[in-house]
Amino acid sequence: MYKGSCLCGSIQFLLHGSVTDIIHCHCSLCRKASGSAYATNGFINADELELTDNNGMLTFFESSEGKRKYFCKTCGAPIYSANAQSPTRYRLRLGALDSDISERPISHNFVTSKANWEDLDLMLPRYEKHEPGRK
Per-domain residue ranges for the chain? Answer: 2-113
Q: Is the dihedral of CA 32, 82, 73, 22 positive or negative?
A: negative
CB 130 within 8 A of CB 109: yes
The fold of the 2-113 domain, in CATH, is 2.170.150
> Rounded mean pLDDT of the chain?
93
* Average of per-residue pLDDT across 114-123: 82
* Average of per-residue pLDDT across 37-54: 96
Instruction: Write out pLDDT tens, residues 59-104.
Output: 999 988 999 999 999 999 999 999 999 999 999 999 999 999 999 9
* Average of per-residue pLDDT across 9-25: 97
Say how far apart CA 69 and CA 50 lie, in whole Å.
Answer: 17
Residues of the chain with pLDDT > 70, as a percent, come to 99
* Residue 48 scores a pLDDT above 90: yes
Say how far apart CA 33 and CA 63 lie, in whole Å.
Answer: 10
CB 27 within 8 A of CB 104: no
* Average of per-residue pLDDT across 27-31: 91
* Residue 134 scores a pLDDT above 90: no
